[in-house]
Chain A
Amino acid sequence: MIYEYISVKVFCIITSRAGREERRSAVRVTRRVCNLYLTSLHEQRCRPLTSDSKHGSSMASNSSSSNAQHRLRIISGHLQKRPEDESTGITAQECKAETPKSTPSRLTPVPKRRQEIMKWNGWGYSDSRFFFNKIGQAEFTGKRYRLSGLILPSLKDWFEGTFGANLQHKSPATPTLNLSAVAPPNLNEPFIEELKAVGVAMSHDPEDRVFRAHGHCLHEIFALREGRIGRVPDMVVWPSCHKDVEKIVELACKHNTCLIPYGGGTSVSSALECPHEETRSIVSLDTSQMNRILWIDEKNLTAHVEAGIIGQDLERQLNESGYCTGHEPDSMEFSSLGGWVATRASGMKKNIYGNIEDLVVHIKMVTPRGVIEKSCLGPRMSTGPDIHHFILGSEGTLGVVTEVTMKIRPIPEYQKYGSVVFPNFQQGVACLREVARQRCAPASIRLMDNEQFQFGHALKPQVSSIFTSFLDGLKKFYITKFKGFDPHHLCVATLLFEGDRGKVLQHEKQVYDIAAKFGGLAAGEDNGQRGYMLTFVIAYLRDLGMDYYVIGESFETSVPWDRVLDLCRNVKERIVLECKERGVQFPPLSTCRVTQTYDAGACVYFYFAFNYRGLSDPVHVYEQVEHAAREEILANGGSLSHHHGVGKLRKEWMKESVSVVGLGMLKSVKEYIDPKNIFGNRNLL
């Protein structure tokens, strides 16, 4: 098996580097040295996870923990700066209600003025971005990620070759927000007066408002880059606890203002767009300051958390107590717990921990009718339809999720990445299907198609030693020549195993054995990690593409097993066809991967991007193609969405997706809970 062969080789390198360290810790180090993954996220995971392993790997975690400290410094720097900036009327008041007994420290809350650390017109942190340096090599700036500060020598060729793009042809973004383009706020003065009296933080600063007027759909970001600003919220409020939210909602009802809950702002369904037809004052309700873990119940393994907390903070804080939720959606750096609940989010490791609906035990939501919650923390109830399911996926149309009790788990002892190369996508899907049939899916198992495999390869950082590059060459030779895999057909499954060490190794063997039956060759941890890294940097890469006339986006679906292959092929082909018909000059990147397995089907993710030079209205073309692709998905038995939600982008298909009666049910709930449409983002229905 090549897997064994390669991993032994890697071992040798590691052990030689690690000196005389014992072999067992070397395994752990291997993981770390190969780790190109997000430091910010996976620090904790890669850090010795249980006390017994703490010692052995302290050396390796040195560099990464210094990274994390650095980041903390940056963030606390922002925190310190903030109070002086409060010229636009932010009033902060500590919430006095419900002071939890075991409050973990509030280390890195998201600042109210998010634009100070995050891009106002692109993805993620301001300090992290891709660019092509003077000699045309791609670099990733900042210090947050494993890729940060590294050079990616093959990205340029891939980029130019795939899109027909050219580094000479730039399409730069407007550098700063033109404040005059922002319409003056339509303020509801009585509402503000009363709110002030209550002492809730608020702002009508244009930057704050623009930041909360969008998610990350292509058209939203494209408009921002061109400096076009549409309807934005008229003000932002920052409740700091459940009680604050209750007051805000009460006053909004009283004064008939429109509330749009805002969590992490990572929506890709136009859910945060302010409806054009809305004439009332629109208030963006930013939950970011409700970010405390209120208690941890170690007997029942649950935690009670304020819904504004963002994924990475939740995970980090739980880790400090030795726990995790295991919920890791790709957006977890920025997305919030409340957002997950409101969109029915799904995490990469759902095979072990479950999706959000499996994780929540109790939800508290403030609605115009009052607070909705269950009376106990029983693990399951037969009390009519589960009211949680009115809340899960309600997309901010019914109220604000304020507090959630969710399951937690002890941090797993051991974690291991892996990857398998298949001769083609069909074989890969067949293998995943078999893994699902045997119900032995690892924490995460994903299958990239050939285009994405090549994409992943283009993101390989500069190889430091001749030996590594030699080894790479050898691997490539082995797979393509000796095993006869066609480099234009082969595809890769990436794996992540978690649990106690013995079980992980056993599990690993089981999965690799199944893979072998479908012609799969184990291809090492490195490839696996790079696959997961792709997920986190892809959104940053889109910004790079947009600097050079390339636009794109991802969308997802879920589909029964027997249709996976057909759906993938047909949708990819439809995209190519539609692009051609709409005058896109160069064939688009149209690629997919299977990201989740279920008993009865899989979740499929598509990436789609093209070079828009020569098109007068690229966003319109993009939207038409995406629309067609969604039609194709539905025609092939795929769902409207697996976890992105409906928002306003996919509303038109709701009726056929859930039937007229189903839609009527949802509407009647809305009608009862929010007859005045206070939560007026007009998503979903």
Chain B
Amino acid sequence: MERASAEALEAEPDGFFDILEERRQGSDISHALRTFNPQPYRGAAPTSASALNRMVLESQHLSYIIQEITLESDEPREVLLKEASAILDEMSQNLQLGFIRLLGFILSKVFKSVFRSIHVNEDGLTQLRQAIQEYPVILMPNHRSYVDFLVLSYIMFTYDLSIPVIAAGIPLMGMKLIGEILRRAGAFFIRRAVRSDKLYWAVLSEYVRTIVRTGFAPVEFYVEGWRSRTQKSLIPKLGMMEMVLEPFFKGEVFDISLVPISISYDRVLEESILAKELLGFPKPKETTWGLLKAWTVLKEDYGCMHVCFGNPVSVRDLVKGKMNCKQYNLVPRDLPMKANKQTQEFVSGLAHVIVRLQERNVVLSPWNLIAVILLQNLQGIDLDQLTHKTLWLRRLALQFGAHLNWPKHISDSEVMSSNLTLHHSVAHCDKGHIHLAEEAGPVPVSQEEGVFRRATAVLMCASYRNQAVHVFTRPAMVAVTLTKAASNRTDDIFRHFNLLLELFSNEFVFIPGQVFQDFEEGCSLLQQSGVIGRSDQEVFVRDEGQETIVFLRAILQPFIESYQVVFRFLCEESLQTFTEKNFLHSVRRFIMKLIISGEVHSYECLSSDVQKNVLSTLFRMDALTKTKVDGQTEFSVNKSAVTRIRDLLSK
């Protein structure tokens, strides 16, 4: 009975099509050499990459900035112009169809060997095709793996859509040969942390704006800023977003279509590297040699990949009533102008909306659910029980609106076993007993070494839970508040929810200013699945909902524990001012001790990501102040404020 209704609920994402299927049938060469004739943006005049660069260098905006710099620094104009030109040479893409074809050929080979299938929603692509012709299009994928960026261009090529130009990190460019190939495949390279470099920022922003304004090609960038090491959505970065939207604010284009794209992998290529990075192991430098060495990685099976193109979002639609573009009318449009508060808020809100849309469209695999269960049973769990709990969770996830790719035509136990096989690097099955797989190493190991190994396994597993965590965040937060709030009264619960949301808004993505909607969403999901009941004034847990509440709380527990332990560290340790590096180092040692002593249970506390998030949170909540000393950012902590926040959480 229960099974049947679960199946009825199953929202099998429709209209997905495996593009590798075709590649396995046909020839890769002819795919790479196919006629490629995409419909461009109708307002675009055909422009070459070099003409684009010239437009940037000759732009009024750049000359304003250069003039400003000459006044500040006495550097002559010619030198600055040359510098700007050099920046542009380093940055600019050089999209060439030939290289797209070459890449297309190579990727056909690679993808076929790595993935079982690449599923793409074709109706999304149809909409994208339409959107590209109408207005400048910004492709906004989530960023989970290096593969993201290759796969998108590959899909665009396969479907005869304009190849995007892609904002990529400068390290990629450093890779010999590969950097150049990527550049010719449409990548342009951006240095990190460039806000302070006036000239660089000017060149970059003018470059991006020119591409959008002229409709040169769709622009692709990661609004999350970088690859999510935790696989959880990141709080969006706004710099690029602002640049991309400015032509709209200034009326230089009628509209801009933002296309959220959700990419998900059954198994992420970089899974173990990412976990280690979180534990403080340095990130391997991106080199061509490194890539070749990683070739062995490609021999493994990484299951399926899903790419879901969301509905294009019209900026014009969203801007209605939210901001007044007339501020731009009283100054020359090329004059560098700092966005006002209203604009910043709009940009930020829009960026958050996009991330939420990415989350909403993500296609989850059964493994994501299994990971949620495993993390609540770190001591190990019997396969039967795991299967049982996973199926229960499947029902809940579907009720919460998750897109789940649960294979239809095979039995549930087969689904379980095939997922366990695929993820042998994360979990082992030992005589029907499942436990996390720890990396083998020389024995005996030190206590600390042991914790690290254990933590690596936990964080790897957590990364798969994180891909699905957005499904549960809001109901889980309501679940937490239900036990912590002063009473059952809705307003008390809402007040506590609000606190929790503020505390965790660097951890999970919440659209600013929509607390109430978030609360309502959480409550109504719980209500619909029979977990809670609501009256006019009160929210109460139903008897049959207790189990779910406990389960949902447990999902958030590692995060809460992490925040608590970092708060404790900041309150107890004597350091007053510190750099981020110092902090990470000492907090890790602190937590390590606590884990060994058994005071702290969650290995996830060791994740540098969550530790940094706590810093940002405290900074946002005015419990930390930042000062620049010798080019380094130093934090100083206001202990009483931290204590206050800590008390709020532990109440």
Contact = CB atoms under 8 A, between A and B. Distances in A.
Given A573-B254, A656-B326, 11 more contacts: A566-B250, A566-B251, A570-B251, A570-B254, A574-B254, A634-B326, A635-B251, A635-B325, A635-B326, A637-B326, A637-B328
B5 interface: no
A569 B332 contact: no
Contacts of A634: 326
26 contacts: A562-B332, A562-B333, A562-B334, A563-B251, A563-B333, A566-B250, A566-B251, A566-B252, A567-B251, A569-B43, A569-B254, A570-B251, A570-B254, A573-B254, A574-B254, A634-B326, A635-B251, A635-B325, A635-B326, A636-B251, A636-B329, A637-B251, A637-B326, A637-B328, A637-B329, A656-B326
Contacts of B334: 562
A209 to B, nearest CB: 42
A636 B255 CA distance: 13
A570 B250 CA distance: 11
Contacts of B325: 635
Contacts of A569: 43, 254
Interface residues of B, number: 12
Contacts of A637: 251, 326, 328-329
Nearest to A566: B251
Interface in A615-636: 634-636
Interface string A551-579: 00000000000110011011001100000
Contacts of A574: 254
Interface string A169-199: 0000000000000000000000000000000
Contacts of B328: 637
Interface in B289-339: 325-326, 328-329, 332-334
A656 B325 CA distance: 13
Contacts of A566: 250-252
Nearest to B314: A577
A408 B498 CA distance: 74
Interface in A622-662: 634-637, 656
Contacts of B43: 569
A566 B249 CA distance: 12
Nearest to B249: A635
5 tightest CB-CB pairs across the interface, nearest first?
A637-B329, A636-B251, A573-B254, A566-B251, A570-B254
Interface in B28-53: 43
A562 B252 CA distance: 10
A635 B328 CA distance: 9
Contacts of A635: 251, 325-326
A566 B254 CA distance: 8
A659 to B, nearest CB: 12
A570 B43 CA distance: 12
Nearest to A572: B254
Contacts of B333: 562-563
B212 to A, nearest CB: 13
A573 B251 CA distance: 12
Nearest to B255: A573
Interface in A235-282: none
A563 B331 CA distance: 12
Interface in B254-307: 254
A569 B247 CA distance: 14
A176 B171 CA distance: 80
Contacts of A656: 326
Contacts of B250: 566
Contacts of B251: 563, 566-567, 570, 635-637
Nearest to B324: A635
A578 to B, nearest CB: 12
Nearest to A559: B329
Interface string B322-366: 000110110011100000000000000000000000000000000
A416 B252 CA distance: 37
A642 B334 CA distance: 25
A569 B134 CA distance: 13
A634 B332 CA distance: 16
A573 B250 CA distance: 16
Nearest to A563: B251
Nearest to B332: A562
B336 to A, nearest CB: 15
Contacts of B252: 566
A172 B344 CA distance: 53
Contacts of B326: 634-635, 637, 656
A563 B325 CA distance: 14
Nearest to A635: B325
A574 B316 CA distance: 10
Interface in A316-352: none
Contacts of A567: 251
Nearest to A634: B326
Interface string B603-630: 0000000000000000000000000000
A417 to B, nearest CB: 31
A567 B326 CA distance: 13
Interface in B207-230: none
A661 to B, nearest CB: 16
A559 to B, nearest CB: 10
Interface string A99-114: 0000000000000000
A256 B201 CA distance: 66
B84 to A, nearest CB: 22
A637 B327 CA distance: 9
B245 to A, nearest CB: 15
A492 to B, nearest CB: 20
Nearest to B135: A573
